[in-house]
C-alpha cells in the first residue's frame, strides 16, 4: 500500500517501524487547510510513481493532536520523511510538484531514475516513454545507438539536446566518414581518451570548416574526464591556446 492513514495508535508501527524497511513520508494535514489540499495530490502522485518503494502516511492533526504536539507541528501542511526510525528530511508549506519530486528523489529514486541508471537500451527507451523530456535518457540512448552503428537514430535523438555530450556526439557523427579523424576516433572508441584528444588537438588548427565540430568533440571528452583530471586540465589549456 502506497498511501495510508495513520493515527496516534498506529504511528509507531506504521511509520517508525515500517521506515526500517521502506522510507515513509508523513503528511501532517487538516481538512480546513487549503494549502494541504494543494499539496496532497503531488505527494500522492510522487508516492504512487515509486510503486511501493516509499510509503505516504497521512496524519490528520485535528484528530491526532497529541501526535502533532509531539512533533512540534506549528504550521501545516508539514511533511517529514522517516528512514530507519528517524526523521531524515522535512519541509513545511505547499510545494510545487517538481520540488515534491526532488524531495522524494532524496529518499528513493523514481522509476524513471532507476531506468536511466540501468542504462541498457530497453530501460532507456522505457524511461523516455514515461518521461519524454528526460534529456539524460535521450543522450545516453543516443550514445548507445552510435556505438552500435546506428548514426541516423543517434543523430535524431542528439541533435536537439543541450549539453556538451550531445553536441560532441552530433559533431562526431558529422565527421564520421572523414578519414582525417579516423585514428582519433579509433582511439576514443578504444577507451584511450588522452590519445584521441591529443590527435584531435593536432588536427584542430588545420580543420578549416570542421574546426567547431572538432572543438565540440574535444570538449565532450574532457567533460567526461571531469574538471579535476590532470590531463583534462592541461588539454583545456592547449585547446584555448589553439583557438585563441
Q: pLDDT digits over 213-229, tens only?
A: 999 999 999 999 998 89
Query: pLDDT digit string (tens) for 143-198?
Result: 999 999 999 999 999 998 999 999 999 999 999 999 999 999 999 999 999 999 99
- Taking the C-alpha atoms of 62, 68, 70 and 74 in order, what is their torsion angle to the nearest 10 degrees? -120
Can 199 be counted among the known catalytic residues? no
Can 33 be counted among the known catalytic residues? yes
Q: What is the C-alpha separation between 181 and 97, in angstroms, rounded?
A: 47
Q: Which three cell numbers stand for residue 122?
A: 530497453
Same domain, 56 and 155: no
Number of domains in the chain: 2
Same domain, 133 and 157: yes
**164 sits in which H/E element:** helix 164-174
Q: What is the C-alpha separation between 112 and 123, in angstroms, rounded?
A: 9
- Taking the C-alpha atoms of 61, 67, 69 and 73 in order, what is their torsion angle to the nearest 10 degrees? -50
Q: What is the C-alpha separation between 128 and 51, in angstroms, rounded?
A: 18
The confidence score (pLDDT) of residue 1 equals: 58
Same domain, 169 and 233: yes
Same domain, 85 and 182: no
Average pLDDT, integer, range 83-93: 93
Instruction: Kindly tell me if the per-residue pLDDT of 95 is higher than 70.
Output: yes
Instruction: Kindly tell me if the per-residue pLDDT of 85 is higher than 70.
Output: yes
The confidence score (pLDDT) of residue 175 equals: 95
The confidence score (pLDDT) of residue 9 equals: 95
Q: What is the C-alpha separation between 61 and 73, in angstroms, rounded?
A: 9
The confidence score (pLDDT) of residue 50 equals: 83
Give the number of other CB atoms < 10 A from CB of residue 102.
11
**Do residues 16 and 47 make contact, with C-beta atoms less than 8 angstroms apart?**
no
The confidence score (pLDDT) of residue 51 equals: 79
Same domain, 141 and 200: yes
Query: pLDDT digit string (tens) for 33-43?
Result: 999 999 999 99
25, 33, 43, 188: the catalytic one is: 33
0.75 surpassed by pTM: no
Same domain, 194 and 236: yes
Same domain, 57 and 89: yes
Print the domain residue range for 229.
112-243
Of 108, 123, 157, the domain-final residue: 108
Same domain, 8 and 129: no
Compute CA distances 97 → 39, 43, 55, 102, whole Å. Answer: 8, 8, 17, 9
Query: pLDDT digit string (tens) for 132-148?
Result: 999 999 999 999 999 99
Same domain, 145 and 236: yes
Average pLDDT, integer, range 7-21: 95
Same domain, 235 and 223: yes
Question: Angle at Cα 84 formed by Cα 82 and Cα 86, nearest 5°?
Answer: 50
Compute CA distances 134 → 137, 145, 162, 218, whole Å. Answer: 6, 17, 11, 24
24, 36, 46, 138: the catalytic one is: 36
Residue 78 phi, psi (nearest 5): -125, 130
- Chain centroid, CA 150 distance in Å: 25
First-to-final CA distance of the chain:
61
Same domain, 55 and 132: no
Amino acid at each position: 500500500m502506497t498511501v495510508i492513514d495513520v493515527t496516534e495508535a498506529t504511528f509507531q508501527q506504521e511509520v517508525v517501524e515500517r521506515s526500517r524497511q521502506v522510507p515513509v513520508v508523513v503528511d501532517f494535514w487538516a481538512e480546513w487547510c487549503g494549502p494541504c489540499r494543494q499539496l496532497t495530490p503531488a505527494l500522492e502522485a510522487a508516492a504512487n510513481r515509486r510503486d511501493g518503494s516509499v510509503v505516504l502516511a497521512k496524519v490528520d492533526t485535528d484528530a491526532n493532536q497529541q501526535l502533532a504536539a509531539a512533533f512540534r507541528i506549528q504550521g501545516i501542511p508539514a511533511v517529514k520523511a522517516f528512514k530507519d526510525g528517524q526523521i531524515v528530511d522535512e519541509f513545511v508549506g505547499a510545494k510545487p510538484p517538481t520540488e515534491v519530486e526532488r524531495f522524494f528523489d532524496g529518499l528513493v529514486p523514481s522509476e524513471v531514475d532507476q531506468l536511466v541508471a540501468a542504462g541498457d537500451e530497453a530501460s532507456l527507451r522505457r524511461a523516455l516513454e514515461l518521461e519524454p523530456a528526460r534529456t539524460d535518457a535521450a543522450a545516453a540512448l543516443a550514445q548507445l545507438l552510435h556505438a552500435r552503428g546506428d548514426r541516423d537514430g543517434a543523430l535524431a535523438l542528439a541533435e536537439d539536446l543541450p549539453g556538451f555530450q550531445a553536441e560532441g556526439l552530433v559533431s562526431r557523427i558529422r565527421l564520421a566518414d572523414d578519414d582525417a579523424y579516423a585514428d582519433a576516433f579509433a582511439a576514443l572508441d578504444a577507451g584511450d581518451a588522452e590519445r584521441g584528444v591529443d590527435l584531435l588537438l593536432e588536427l584542430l588548427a588545420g580543420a578549416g570548416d570542421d574546426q567547431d565540430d572538432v572543438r565540440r568533440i574535444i570538449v565532450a571528452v574532457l567533460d567526461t574526464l571531469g574538471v579535476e583530471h590532470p590531463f583534462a586540465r592541461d588539454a583545456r589549456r592547449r585547446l584555448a591556446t589553439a583557438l585563441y
